[in-house]
Amino acid sequence: MSQANSIIDQRLSSLEKHLEQENPILLSTVQSFRRLDRVAYRLGLLQRDQSFATQIPWWPLISILGTFSSGKSTFINHYLDYKLQRTGNQAVDDKFTVVCFSREQEAHSLPGIALDSDPRFPFYQMSDDIEQVASGEGERIDAYLQLKTCPSEHLRGKILIDSPGFDADAQRTSTLRITDHIISLSDLVLVFFDARHPEPGAMHDTLKHLVTDTIKRPDSGKFLYILNQIDTTAREDNPEDVVAAWQRALGECGLTAGRFYTTYNPDAAIPIENEALRERFEGKRNKDLGEIHARMHQVEIERAYRIVGALDKTVRELEESIVPAISDSIARWRKGVVWTNSIIFSLLFIGAIVLSIKLDYWQGLSFKPPWLDDWLSSPISIYLTLAALAIGIFSISYLVRMLVRKPIYKKLAREDIHKKGRISLANAFFKNTRPWRSIFSSKPAGWGRRSKKQLKVILQESDNYVQSLNDSFTNPSGERAQAPQEAAEPSATASAENMQKDETLN
């Protein structure tokens, strides 16, 4: 086993050990990811030190976004029952903070490199992403990210991501890139707004990025929009008007009812003297906070479905999008090689004819140069000439292959950068244009009955995992619930049998 294989195998083995007790169903999905990796290795899409399993976060992620002074840090401290984040009316932190559980009683703050260099966390190699949108900023990863540990039991088994105060009207491109990244990875996204803000309609760009750009996502159900610090409106004559103004502003951005909450922090609330009003505010706050905390508690369930969904999505993307993209690039290369060779050899042929005419090698339509009889009488000369001709043709063809390949490869490499190294179409294309591969090969290297069969098996496993997850939380028939380990075993056994059949295809 190569060193690269050994490293990735150690990472996956460590992940399996972590999941063995936590979630047997997800433990089985690691094996499916391993099989998917082998297909990608044959296609040239992944290097041997890469795995699809390491490209997704396996810990439940909750992201907390919001405008400046919207009470995000106070909410986090209240949820953790631990004063971890600094709070204040002004922006007190301009970094993205990943908060994770630690058994140590004292909290610790670690620099951004702790996240950038560890594939277990959601900001692995984020410095490369930042560098793409802001040259030179990738080296300043500590200015964007930090890792904090906390002994709160509420944090066990999940990760919180606290974002700096959001203002899309003046936000740096690099910060927006990080925001989009964590939104995509998160299982639950809490979006906070400040009820004290007098003109929500003026926050056009901010609302667009935090609301309009999220509600059209296929995973839009993971977003909770929270109008926080609503207690400050208790002294107003018309607190309902404040809420209505925000609801109108969010509604104009396309937000539908059912995901809008009004809350305030009981530890930092402004005293409400009117008892009836206080009870009304507290009742609404407790109801909404209860729903929000319930969703945060269920994030592990959503994480399990997210990972199985990522497996299914990757397989379908590979089959329906990536392989056709490889085939298209090969087709463009093949067409370029054929046309370029045709032009070059046509010109050489015409040039040879013109030169032979000028040298008077033709007698009518007969080609009779003065050296032809001597050349035909010497087998060695014939063999040497044919060998030189073959070498010449091969050299020209090889040079043409390389020249035509170069711009296509560069274009694919630029596209790969935007995929964060998740896969490499450029490497897959390069694998199909090596000298010993015919330009007329009908399918990409590594793509055949074996790979197609394996993807079909993985898709079936994905369906089985979803069914096992469903059986863990639902029981329409009323029969005895099946343990997760028992539910996961049939799919694993079926997979092993199918994979054994696969090997006979080769």
Digit-coded pLDDT (tens) for 310-363: 999 999 999 999 999 999 999 999 999 999 999 999 999 999 999 988 888 888
Q: Is the pLDDT of residue 89 over 70?
A: no
Work out whether strand 159-162 and strand 61-66 pair parallel, antiparallel, or are unpaired: parallel
The predicted structure's pLDDT at residue 190: 92
Structure tokens at 47: 């290097």
Find the distance separating the first CA and the last CA of the chain, reported in whole Å: 21
Is 212 found in the same domain as 168? Answer: yes
Identify whether the C-beta of residue 94 lies closer than 8 Å to the C-beta of residue 217.
no
Domain of 289, CATH number, reads 3.40.50.300
Per-residue pLDDT band at 505 (split at 50, 70, 90)? very low
Residue 460: what are its φ and ψ, rounded to 5°? -65, -40
Domain assignment of residue 16, yes or no: no
Q: What is the DSSP letter of 40?
A: H
Which is nearest to 422 in space by CA: 310, 336, 256, 347?
A: 310
Q: How far apart are CA 18 and CA 49, in angstroms?
A: 20
Is 343 found in the same domain as 267? Answer: no
Is 347 found in the same domain as 259? Answer: no
pLDDT digits 0-9 by tens, 166-183: 665 555 677 777 788 788
Q: Is the pLDDT of residue 396 over 90?
A: yes
Mutual angle of helices 173-185 and 126-133, in 10-degree steps: 140
Write the CB contacts of 187 (distance below 8 Å, at least 6 apart in sequence): 60, 61, 62, 222, 299, 302, 303, 306
Q: How far apart are CA 314 and CA 462, in angstroms?
A: 11
Minimum mean pLDDT range among 73-82, 293-302, 410-419, 427-436:
410-419
Minimum mean pLDDT range among 27-41, 98-112, 162-176:
162-176
Domain assignment of residue 334, yes or no: yes
Per-residue pLDDT band at 502 (split at 50, 70, 90)? very low
**What is the overall mean pLDDT for the chain?**
81
Q: What is the DSSP letter of 209?
A: I
CB count within 10 Å of CB 132 equals: 16
Segment of 96-100, 192-196, 291-295 carrying the highest mean pLDDT: 291-295
Looking at residues 112-140, what average pLDDT do you find? 73
- Domain range for 147: 61-297
Domain assignment of residue 213, yes or no: yes
Domain assignment of residue 493, yes or no: no
pLDDT digits 0-9 by tens, 252-280: 776 654 477 888 887 777 777 778 888 88
For residue 288, what is the enclosing H or E element? helix 275-297
Structure tokens at 189: 């996204």
Distances (CA, A) of 48 to 8, 21, 448, 466: 8, 28, 20, 29
Is 265 found in the same domain as 323? Answer: no
Is 334 found in the same domain as 291? Answer: no
Looking at the DSSP bridge assignments, the partners of residue 109 are 148
The predicted structure's pLDDT at residue 486: 45
Domain assignment of residue 495, yes or no: no
Is 182 found in the same domain as 65? Answer: yes
Which is nearest to 281 in space by CA: 294, 292, 270, 295?
A: 270
Q: Is the pLDDT of residue 500 over 70?
A: no
Domain assignment of residue 233, yes or no: yes
Distances (CA, A) of 326 to 42, 431, 450: 13, 10, 18
Looking at residues 38-46, what average pLDDT do you find? 94
DSSP 223-253: EEEEEE-GGGGTTSS-HHHHHHHHHHHHHHT
Task: Give the Cα-Cα-Cα angle 439, 443, 446 (nearest 5 degrees).
Answer: 110
Looking at residues 136-165, what average pLDDT do you find? 84
Domain boundary (383, 415, 431) is at 431
Looking at residues 476-480, what average pLDDT do you find? 55
The predicted structure's pLDDT at residue 39: 96
Structure tokens at 133: 């949108």
Q: Is the pLDDT of residue 477 over 80?
A: no
Per-residue pLDDT band at 495 (split at 50, 70, 90)? very low
Greater pLDDT, 23 or 43: 43
Greater pLDDT, 283 or 137: 283
Is 257 found in the same domain as 164? Answer: yes
Domain assignment of residue 97, yes or no: yes
Q: Is the pLDDT of residue 494 over 50?
A: no
Is 183 found in the same domain as 256? Answer: yes
Domain assignment of residue 306, yes or no: no
Domain boundary (390, 411, 431) is at 431
Minimum mean pLDDT range among 362-366, 384-388, 396-400:
362-366
Q: How far apart are CA 310 and CA 302, in angstroms?
A: 12
Work out whether strand 362-363 and strand 366-367 pair parallel, antiparallel, or are unpaired: antiparallel
pLDDT above 70 as % of the chain: 81
Write the CB contacts of 279 (distance below 8 Å, at least 6 apart in sequence): none
Write the CB contacts of 320 (distance below 8 Å, at least 6 apart in sequence): none
Q: Is the pLDDT of residue 221 over 70?
A: yes
Q: How far apart are CA 95 and CA 90, in angstroms?
A: 14
Task: Provide the domain count of the chain.
Answer: 2
Looking at residues 487-506, what average pLDDT do you find? 42
Residue 467 exposure: Cα atoms within 13 Å on the Cβ side = 12
Looking at residues 60-86, what average pLDDT do you find? 85
Helices (H) and strands (E) in the chain, counts: 17, 10
Mutual angle of helices 484-503 and 24-43, in 10-degree steps: 20
The predicted structure's pLDDT at residue 272: 77
| CB-neighbour burial class of residue 272 (10 A; exposed 0-12, middle 13-18, buried 19+) | middle
The predicted structure's pLDDT at residue 111: 86
Is 167 found in the same domain as 213? Answer: yes
Domain boundary (297, 329, 356) is at 297
Structure tokens at 268: 């930092």
The predicted structure's pLDDT at residue 205: 65
| Cα of 421 vs its chain's centroid, Å | 9
Segment of 47-61, 219-233, 445-459 carrying the highest mean pLDDT: 445-459
Looking at residues 120-139, what average pLDDT do you find? 71
Per-residue pLDDT band at 9 (split at 50, 70, 90)? confident
Answer positive or negative: Cα dihedral of 366, 371, 372, 373: positive
Is 333 found in the same domain as 278? Answer: no
Greater pLDDT, 426 or 107: 426
CB count within 10 Å of CB 219 equals: 15
The predicted structure's pLDDT at residue 245: 77
Structure tokens at 109: 């703050």
Is 267 found in the same domain as 367? Answer: no
- Size (the chain), residues: 506
Residue 347 exposure: Cα atoms within 13 Å on the Cβ side = 6
Q: How far apart are CA 108 and CA 170, in angstroms?
A: 31
The predicted structure's pLDDT at residue 30: 92
Structure tokens at 24: 């047997």
Is 85 found in the same domain as 223? Answer: yes
